[in-house]
A and B are shown apart, each in its own frame.
Chain A
Amino acid sequence: MNTEQLRESVLSVALAVAATITGVLLSMLLVQATGHDAGAAARALWDGAFGSRRQIYLTAARMPALILVALGWIVAFRSRKVNLGLEGQVIIGGIFATLVAVEGPSLPSVPAIALSCIVAMIAAAVYAAIAAVLWAKRGVNEIVSTLMLTFIARQIVEWVVRGPMKAPGKASFQSKLIPGAFRWPELANGTPFSADAILSLVAVAAMVFLINRTVFGFKLRLTGENDECSRHAGVSTVRVVVLGFLLSGALAGLAGAGLVLGGERHMLTSGFTGNVGFTGIVVALVARNSPIGSVPAALLFAALATGGGVMQARADVPSEIVFITQGVIVVLVACSGLLVRALHARRVDANEDTPPRVQPGLASVADAT
């Protein structure tokens, strides 16, 4: 990392922090304006997120899924592919993890969890592959197809918890409970904070290594930056992009598995994802697509989620307020991203030979003649 890159990352961290503070302040203003006590709400928000050991564990327990989804977004985005269907892939992962756990063989804990996670990852990767293959073979825009697949996944989970996977004898729509061997071991007794947290940190490290040190990561970056150059260098760009997309789906699947094998309820319900498939994307955006940055960003969004619940209960402020907080943060970070890029572009594009991105270059010149 050279000085310039260092300066850039320091700047982005500072901007993200500023955006968070502004986001919280603005939403508290809104709380006050709607006739609530902003001070009490803020305190409740903080207490809810970090006020006691239990609350801290609750917040931490939300992080692994967010991190894994963010990583999924990041790996696809390295080749400039937009996987908006992570939510759908999370759902598929959750369904298959549950299926293995409740219908599969009885196994000791470690192989049980491993099997369940691997099946979830494969299933989610296959689900993502539908979009990837449609893109590779037919040029179907992956943004649209993954989003559509998410709607389908939602219908599928509605159906399985009402029908084939419904726990017999229960009034509510839910699957059977996950057997003990398949549950992620708890890291703090009696809280949902479990060992998948470790797994998600390992995944972050693995992702950093994959992107920066491996040949596949290199090809992914090269293709994302300039796919014509990548092709000219002898890289099979379509293969690289499809593989990146599958990996993205697999990570979402792993997140989905964590939600049912870890967590508090140990079962599949139709809303089991709590939208992590979308919030995780926002986490990646706030982290500016940095795998390491997605850890603090996930912490932020996890805290807002747990804190928001407590705020509603204690200060009688609708927890939807935290959506506004999140929204403000995202918009501010997106804008500050533009700001960074603008500052950066002014310095760098100054090199005469560097075509600003919108300009027609020699290629189009040659095409026209």
Chain B
Amino acid sequence: MSMAQTVGSDRSPTVPRLRLCGITKRFPGVVANRDVSLEVHGGEVLAILGENGAGKSTLMNVVSGMLQPESGSIEVDGKPVRIRNPADARKLGIGMVYQHFALVPTLTVAENLALGASGTRIFSNTRRIAEQVTGLSRAYHLEVDPHAVVGDLSVGTRQRVEIVKLLFRGAEILIFDEPTSVLTPVEWHHLVRILRNLAAEGHSIIFITHKLDELMQVADRCTVLRHGEVAGTVSVAATDKAQLARMTVGREILFQVSTKAARPGRVVVAAEGLTMRSDDGRPRLDGVSFELREGEILGVAGVDGNGQRELARVLTGLDAATGGRFRFGDEWRTSIQPIDFYRRGGAYIPEDRHHTSVALELSVRDNLLMKELALGRMQRGGVVSERAADEYCTTLMQEFDVRAPSPRVRIRQLSGGNQQKVVLARELSRTPQLLIAAQPTRGLDVGAAEFVMRRLVAEKERGCAILMISTELEEVLQLSDRVAVMVDGRFLAVLDRQDATYERLGLLLGGEAVDDLGGELTEVDA
């Protein structure tokens, strides 16, 4: 078990740690990777950038043994290897951190690691494993307590547990596929430090992201994929965001979306002291009051898990409030049926794509149609009107640039960003009166994110009232007319656009360390 000693120091520094040559991977109807070659050296962080559906995840799944390429070869430390399954990849020291963590929430960190360890019996070795975890954690500043129960840990900590798991299994090539969308700024900076640390110790890191700022902070080099092919590789020091964006989507990206000041009309939705307690009696939502008017965007800024989800779920009818009231339309109420929310002109983009907003096993078409059908549209006498439905789907897929071989494929087969585009298309197609959008640009490439932000502004200027929930301050600041800061289930403050600055929001969110990279990091778990 390599602890903190430099990894692979016995190897020649000129031979890349991992090298892909001419990898081609097809799926029915698409070539996900075409003749892709790239290399990663020891001690390096390589970022992979590319449009939604460019083939990034597919390529990493080839490297980690989940998928078999049609052609191409892989070399590790100069030696050709075959990676037939994840176990092969593990033996070669390749490990992947997924967005959805593969940890058992009811077990402790050490027990989770014992589960995966080969040739060990569960429980018998947890003591030894715990010691190793402590060692690894100290060596790389991971701050993971081996005896903590995984279910109690924050998202950021769980991610670090995943890293410990990989290191524990001897991984020297670590792959991160869009790891940061659920991290707080503090957690992100912690992660950057860890990654730089790991690289300094000789590990190789592959990092997929759509966020150029993050990429610039963490990566040494960047390989850009377009339509499954390598569009180029650049050194991060010698490039800037604009160039990276151009390489990714093939056009200029304006990082600033222009938006006119709001001309708010009548109140569309209002809440008074909305409260929701979970079963254990803890308030998840604690007296939230606000008014949202036609033609205005109210941004809700906050760290994930501070009641944003509950707020959206109460307003859209998925959960009932336990106290307070709200109105959407005329009457005050404590709950609403989801169908009534839509009938009144509501639209909702939930943040957890796989649990709420899409049914993975159903087709893209079914996923686009679900709310239309629930609303009684696109049907006659209880039978789906195939022609109207097909037309609707084709139009939306074109408008939102959803890349799928056909509307009939399972949505599971679409890339993450394209799944998100399906959700956006479905909600925006109804010209809503009220839009509740949680993390609307999560997983989107820079081009698609820009498109969506423009659409949100256009909807607002049309008169739609938008409640935009986001953990990304830049996004909130760019689009919102007013910004609510949400902490512990409450609106700590509601600021007008001109008063809402990045620094001020950071302070209100209790993240003093937001732009203090070198600062002492404290454990962020409760």
Residues on A lying within 8 angstroms of B by beta carbon are 1-4, 213-216, 218-219, 221-222, 225-226, 228-236, 346-356, 359-366, 368-369
Report how far A313 CA is from B177 CA in the complex, Å: 66
Do B352 and A366 touch across chains, with their CB atoms under 8 A apart? yes
Report how far A236 CA is from B354 CA in the complex, Å: 20
For B60, B182, B338, B406, which residue has the most chain A Cβ atoms within 10 angstroms?
B338
Query: Other CB < 8 Å A-B pairs besides A4-B28, A230-B370, 6 of them?
Result: A2-B405, A222-B362, A225-B360, A353-B416, A361-B100, A361-B352
Judged by a CB distance under 8 angstroms, whether B497 is at the interface is no
Do A228 and B373 touch across chains, with their CB atoms under 8 A apart? no
Choice from B99, B178, B382 contacting A214 with Cβ under 8 Å: B382
Judged by a CB distance under 8 angstroms, whether B506 is at the interface is no
Report how far A277 CA is from B80 CA in the complex, Å: 58
Report how far A360 CA is from B383 CA in the complex, Å: 37
Judged by a CB distance under 8 angstroms, whether B238 is at the interface is no
Judged by a CB distance under 8 angstroms, whether B361 is at the interface is yes
Do A368 and B360 touch across chains, with their CB atoms under 8 A apart? no
Do B356 and A352 touch across chains, with their CB atoms under 8 A apart? no
Judged by a CB distance under 8 angstroms, whether B270 is at the interface is no
Report how far A359 CA is from B103 CA in the complex, Å: 7
Do B28 and A2 touch across chains, with their CB atoms under 8 A apart? yes
Do B413 and A225 touch across chains, with their CB atoms under 8 A apart? no
List A contacts of B304 (CB < 8 A). 366, 369
Choice from A3, A4, A226, A234 contacting B359 with Cβ under 8 Å: A226
Choice from B316, B355, B375 contacting A361 with Cβ under 8 Å: B355
Known contacts A225-B362, A360-B103, A368-B105; is A2 also within 8 Å of B60 by CB?
A: no
Report how far A319 CA is from B209 CA in the complex, Å: 64
What distance in Å separates the Cβ of A105 from its nearest Cβ neighbour in chain B? Answer: 33
Chain B residue nearest to A365 (CB atoms) is B155
| Subset of 20 A-B contacts with CB under 8 Å | A219-B373, A225-B359, A230-B359, A233-B338, A234-B371, A346-B66, A350-B61, A351-B58, A353-B353, A353-B419, A355-B354, A356-B102, A360-B101, A360-B104, A360-B151, A361-B354, A361-B355, A363-B355, A368-B153, A369-B526
Report how far A360 CA is from B102 CA in the complex, Å: 7
Do A232 and B350 touch across chains, with their CB atoms under 8 A apart? yes
Report how far A4 CA is from B352 CA in the complex, Å: 27
Do A360 and B105 touch across chains, with their CB atoms under 8 A apart? yes
Q: Give 3 nearest A-B pairs by CB, closest first.
A: A369-B305, A353-B416, A234-B339
Judged by a CB distance under 8 angstroms, whether B57 is at the interface is yes
Which parts of B344-366 form the interface with A (CB within 8 Å)?
A: 348, 350-362, 366
What distance in Å separates the Cβ of A25 from its nearest Cβ neighbour in chain B? Answer: 33
Known contacts A352-B60, A363-B355; is A233 also within 8 Å of B370 by CB?
A: yes
Known contacts A215-B384, A350-B66, A352-B98; is A2 also within 8 Å of B408 by CB?
A: yes
Chain A residue nearest to B380 (CB atoms) is A215
List A contacts of B382 (CB < 8 A). 214-216
Do A229 and B357 touch across chains, with their CB atoms under 8 A apart? yes
Do B61 and A359 touch across chains, with their CB atoms under 8 A apart? no
Choice from B104, B155, B415 contacting A353 with Cβ under 8 Å: B415
Report how far A355 CA is from B66 CA in the complex, Å: 14
Do A351 and B413 touch across chains, with their CB atoms under 8 A apart? yes
List A contacts of B337 (CB < 8 A). 234, 236
Known contacts A213-B383, A216-B382, A228-B356; is A353 also within 8 Å of B443 by CB?
A: yes
Do A359 and B360 touch across chains, with their CB atoms under 8 A apart? no
What distance in Å separates the Cβ of A10 from its nearest Cβ neighbour in chain B? Answer: 14
Report how far A133 CA is from B17 CA in the complex, Å: 62
Contact code string B168-196 (vs A, CB < 8 Å = 1, else 0): 00000000011000100000000000000
What distance in Å separates the Cβ of B128 from its nearest Cβ neighbour in chain A? Answer: 26
List A contacts of B147 (CB < 8 A). none
What distance in Å separates the Cβ of B509 from its nearest Cβ neighbour in chain A? Answer: 15
Known contacts A352-B61, A352-B178; is A234 also within 8 Å of B153 by CB?
A: no
Chain A residue nearest to B181 (CB atoms) is A362
Do A363 and B352 touch across chains, with their CB atoms under 8 A apart? yes
List B contacts of A219 (CB < 8 A). 373-374
Choice from B105, B316, B371, B406 contacting A2 with Cβ under 8 Å: B406
Report how far A348 CA is from B67 CA in the complex, Å: 9
What distance in Å separates the Cβ of B485 from its nearest Cβ neighbour in chain A? Answer: 18
What distance in Å separates the Cβ of A327 from its nearest Cβ neighbour in chain B? Answer: 30
Known contacts A225-B359, A360-B105, A361-B100; is A232 also within 8 Å of B305 by CB?
A: no
Do B371 and A233 touch across chains, with their CB atoms under 8 A apart? yes
List B contacts of A229 (CB < 8 A). 355-359, 370
Judged by a CB distance under 8 angstroms, whether B82 is at the interface is no
List B contacts of A221 (CB < 8 A). 362, 366
Do A232 and B338 touch across chains, with their CB atoms under 8 A apart? yes
List A contacts of B406 (CB < 8 A). 2
Known contacts A354-B354, A363-B355, A369-B304; is A214 also within 8 Å of B339 by CB?
A: no
List B contacts of A234 (CB < 8 A). 337-339, 341-342, 371, 374-375
Chain A residue nearest to B57 (CB atoms) is A352
Do B354 and A362 touch across chains, with their CB atoms under 8 A apart? yes
Judged by a CB distance under 8 angstroms, whether B252 is at the interface is no
Chain B residue nearest to A367 (CB atoms) is B278
Choice from A218, A348, A362 contacting B355 with Cβ under 8 Å: A362
Which parts of B283-313 form the interface with A (CB within 8 Å)?
A: 304-305, 309
Known contacts A234-B339, A348-B412, A362-B354; is A355 also within 8 Å of B100 by CB?
A: yes
List A contacts of B408 (CB < 8 A). 1-2
List B contacts of A2 (CB < 8 A). 28-29, 405-406, 408-409
Chain A residue nearest to B526 (CB atoms) is A369
Chain A residue nearest to B153 (CB atoms) is A368
Judged by a CB distance under 8 angstroms, whether B478 is at the interface is no
Known contacts A352-B57, A364-B105; is A215 also within 8 Å of B383 by CB?
A: yes
Report how far A360 CA is from B355 CA in the complex, Å: 10
List A contacts of B369 (CB < 8 A). 218
Contact code string B24-58 (vs A, CB < 8 Å = 1, else 0): 00001100000000000000000000000000011
Judged by a CB distance under 8 angstroms, whether B460 is at the interface is no
Judged by a CB distance under 8 angstroms, whether B379 is at the interface is yes
Do B370 and A222 touch across chains, with their CB atoms under 8 A apart? yes
List A contacts of B158 (CB < 8 A). 365
Judged by a CB distance under 8 angstroms, whether B152 is at the interface is yes
What distance in Å separates the Cβ of A210 from its nearest Cβ neighbour in chain B? Answer: 10
What distance in Å separates the Cβ of B325 from its nearest Cβ neighbour in chain A? Answer: 22
Report how far A216 CA is from B374 CA in the complex, Å: 10
List A contacts of B361 (CB < 8 A). 225-226
